Amino acid sequence: MADRIADPWGERTPYGPGEPWPVRVDLHLADGLSEHEVDRWARSASILHSNGDAMDIAVKDGRIAGVRGHAADRVNRGRLDPKDLYGWQANNSRDRLTRPLVREGGRLVETDWDTAMNRIVDRSRQLLGSPGGWGRFGFYTSGQLFLEEYYTLGVLGKAGIGTPHMDGNTRLCTATAAAALKASFGTDGQPGSYADVDHCDAIALWGHNVAETQTVLWMRMLDRRHGTDPPAMLAVDPRPTPVAREADVHLAVRAGTNLALVNGLLRQIIRNGWYDEEYVTAHTTGFDELCRIVDGYPPDRVAGICDVRAADVERAAELLGTSRRLLSTVLQGFYQSNQATASACAVNNLHLVRGMLGRPGAGVLQMNGQPSAQNTRETGADGDLPGMRNWDNPQHIQELAELWNVDPAVIPHWSPPTHAMQIWRYAEQGSIELLWISATNPAVSLPDLARIRRILTQPELFVVAQDLYLTETAELADVVLPAATWGEKTGTFTNADRTVHLSEQAVDPPGAARSDLDVFLDYARRMDFRDRDGGPLIGWAGPEEAFEAWKRCSAGRPCDYTGLTYAKLREGSGIPWPCTDDAPDGTERLYGDGRFNTDPDYCETYGQDLSTGAEFTAAQYRAKEPAGRAFLHAADYQPSSEVPSDDYPMLLTTGRTVHQFHTRTKTGRAPELNAAAPDVWVEIHPDDAARHGVTDGDRVTITSPRGGIRVRARTTGIRPGVVFVPFHYGYFDLPGDRRTPRAANELTATAWDPVSRQPIFKITAVRLEKEH
């Protein structure tokens, strides 16, 4: 097989418009093992990004020994990416947590499950014993557990404890995708499909380095680019990413100026008559206001704000405006940047005015990043209610109360659910006293790490960490619970184009590690949560029963799973929701009929002001009379508050590299991946490097008002004035080693988008110095 570390995308299999994407089955097995020696294959999908690459897990002598792509799957037709191929080795790492740990006299010591769980239960009971005790709990979960686990957590938090303080690291990841989908279309739910790549004649990638982050989706795009009638391509990214290099038009915008750019593109499209007047009239509301606002963004002004050429803005507008089937993808260059939700909505606007939704090749993918972020959102384990229900709609609360057989007053709905950044603030202030962290490593991934470490070590805060390894976060916890993970437990998860996959248990977890589902069920049992009739609040005992319970919750909502079963998910390909009796094979695209989920009784939110985030009331929303039309939300560009100054003259942006995943707990334990990108670096333009007396490989210090890191310089074609640091590399390499602070988040600021409340990881003013 080709060296997929050196060539992440592998061989091309070109195809033309409307043709099926050819199959190419990728495989990687442990050294010396051949396919026919494998004892057993277990069905699964990738857990190292949101693409949902379907695969079988190879089992040999009771251990995971490799993976093979699934030829029949709609998502990948057999292909796997480098993390998929090599990442499974982390499961077998010798430093997995195998027993619970509790803090004794300042140190973490091994113990049994009863002792660890009883500590959590004792503390919980004590907090619940005082008035308003529910307000003292905070749950910070993930985009990497399974649907069944989130739903269970959601129910125990909302109907067991009754706390609004529950969110996922999805707040850092796809909160803006959710916010923009709700704002434009009425509810969360991806309009487009990966199959749109097969049909489109233009692809626009908005702040999305898909080549390195959804590698298999990029293979599909590249295969179209190598076939007959290839789609045109536009990339918007300050860096010369592989995507930017492939694109026909690359707009290397100044970080933080996305909204000015998309407004400018909309202006050109409208002025040149490249919009679909009939579609706009029949299916949208807000066009006049949109025209008024975008009119203020002629190409010259956009060129000035974004620091790109006016002619390139016009070329990009023509590419978008004259395409007949346009596919857009949007990700962190928009979601974690200035005016995140407004910018993501602006891309929705572009598709709405051009009528580019709901038919083959015409779609927008407001991407997810994590493998199961979609499920965190659907099940209400983030700042939402289960089944994409509206916290401010009493009828929706009533539905949940009936489903769970509890008093509606128990379910928190007097204000919006608390978002993660506020949960951490409450913990800092001391009003949250128990913080339960599952499957996320905030001591590396949240902004301003010095502050996060300070919060985690506050003596009054009781911290539970549920993980596979003793991470930077787990090290600071009071109780550490050893979790089983992918391959060691069964459950479902849903990718960025709504495709649901089943992931089956292949092997036993190490030592006493337990699935997150078992941990949450055990807690609910010990806490003795009851329904209105005195029966157990949570009536399920395993994943399949949890899935059946979730199906009832999803019935009639946009994410309707009622037509799915585990048996059906074992058959051929993954299946995109909604899947019902009427649509037993799932649904490729949403909104084909131009009717959106904006009806006041159905929508997920009554909306927010895009500039301030202020919530609208039901009455204000009804007055807009959406009647199934989509909203064209327009907003003016406002410069980021993080601007270069004399002390901090450069802009830092952060992100990913193809070989590492997040805080590297898995990819750092896979030898091939780790060797490919073992340490942090900074990407810098040669002119900026020269000004600082820096050459390739030199050690530099980067400083912001919050901290400093030491990294090696790498000169690239990044735009001048901007430097890029991958955020993967934690504070220390080995537990206890604190010599070399190197995490990008030592530098980033506690600041977030007013609408989605997603942190702004992509713009930080910094200073660079060469180390002598």
Ligand X SMILES: Nc1nc2c(c(=O)[nH]1)N[C@H]1C(S)=C(S)[C@@H](COP(=O)(O)OP(=O)(O)OC[C@H]3O[C@@H](n4cnc5c(=O)[nH]c(N)nc54)[C@H](O)[C@@H]3O)O[C@H]1N2
Among positions 54, 173, 210, 630, the unique one binding Mo ion when judged by CB under 5 A: 173
Question: Residue 383 binds what, of Mo ion, ligand X, none (CB under 5 to 8 Å, by partner type)?
Answer: none
Is the Cα torsion angle 737, 738, 739, 742 positive or negative in sign? Answer: positive
Closer residue to Mo ion, CB minimum distance, 173 or 676: 173
Q: How far is the CB of 370 from Mo ion (least distance, A)?
A: 5
* Residue 626 touches Mo ion, criterion: CB under 5 A: no
Which range binds ligand X by CB under 6 A, 137-145, 500-508, 525-533, 606-614? 137-145
- 38 forms part of the interface with ligand X (CB under 6 A): no
Site string for ligand X, 610-649 (x = CB under 6 A): ----------------------------------------
List Cβ<8 Å contacts ≥24 apart for 455-462.
455/424, 455/427, 455/428, 458/427, 458/428, 458/430, 460/430, 460/433, 461/427, 461/430, 461/432, 461/433, 461/434, 461/435, 462/123, 462/433, 462/434, 462/435
Residue 168 in the binding site for Mo ion (CB under 5 A)? no
Q: How far apart are alpha carbons 530 and 66 in whole angstroms?
A: 43
Work out the burial of residue 240: count CB atoms within 10 Å of its CB; fewer than 13 is exposed, 13-18 middle, 19 or more buried: middle
> Among 45, 331, 479, 760, which residue interacts with ligand X (rule: CB under 6 A)?
331
The span from the first CA to the last CA of the chain, in angstroms, equals 44
The residue from 154, 369, 447, 626 that contacts Mo ion (CB under 5 A) is: 369
Among the residue ranges 21-29, 57-65, 326-334, 406-414, the one whose residues contact ligand X (CB under 6 A):
326-334
Q: Which does 439 bind (CB under 5 to 8 A by kind): Mo ion, ligand X, none?
A: ligand X
Phi, then psi, of 14 in degrees rounded to 5: -60, 150
| Touching ligand X, residues 145-184 (CB under 6 A) | 145, 169, 172-173
238: contact with ligand X by CB under 6 A = yes
Q: Going residue by residue from 84 to 123, which x/- string records binding to ligand X, judged by CB under 6 A?
A: ----------------------------------------
User: Is the separation of the CB atoms in 719 and 238 below 8 Å?
Assistant: yes
Instruction: Count interface residues toward ligand X (CB under 6 A).
Output: 62
Q: Give the residues across from 483 on adjacent strands.
A: 514
Min CB(91)–ligand X separation in Å: 10
Locate 757 and state its tokens. Answer: 């409340």
- Give the SS3 label for residue 608: strand
Window 374-413: contact mask with Mo ion (x via CB under 5 A): ----------------------------------------
Residues in Cβ contact with 752 at an 8 Å cutoff, skipping those fewer than 6 apart: 421, 758, 759, 760
Amino acid at 731: Y
Question: How many whole angstroms separate alpha carbon 333 and alpha carbon 241?
Answer: 12
For position 444 contacting Mo ion by CB under 5 A, the verdict is: no
SS3 160: helix
Of 13 and 169, which has the nearer Cβ to ligand X?
169
Closest separation in Å from C-beta 51 to Mo ion: 12
Query: Quick one: what does residue 653 bind among Mo ion, ligand X, none, with the CB cut-off 5 to 8 Å set by partner type?
Result: ligand X
| Cα–Cα distances in angstroms (integers) from residue 12 to residues 69, 210, 493, in the given order | 16, 16, 28
653 binds ligand X per the rule CB under 6 A: yes
Asked if 235 interacts with ligand X (CB under 6 A), we say no
The C-alpha atoms of residue 407 and residue 590 are separated, in whole angstroms, by: 34
- Residue 29 burial (C-beta neighbours within 10 Å; 0-12, 13-18, 19+): middle
- Residues in Cβ contact with 301 at an 8 Å cutoff, skipping those fewer than 6 apart: 260, 264
Distances (CA, A) of 350 to 133, 328, 332, 363, 477: 47, 10, 19, 11, 46
Chain residues in the site for Mo ion (CB under 5 A): 173, 369-370
Chain residues in the site for ligand X (CB under 6 A): 49, 83, 142-145, 169, 172-173, 207-209, 212-213, 236-239, 241, 253, 255-256, 258, 331-333, 336-337, 369-370, 438-442, 444-445, 466-469, 471, 483, 485, 516, 653-656, 658, 660-663, 665, 724, 727, 744-745, 748, 761-762
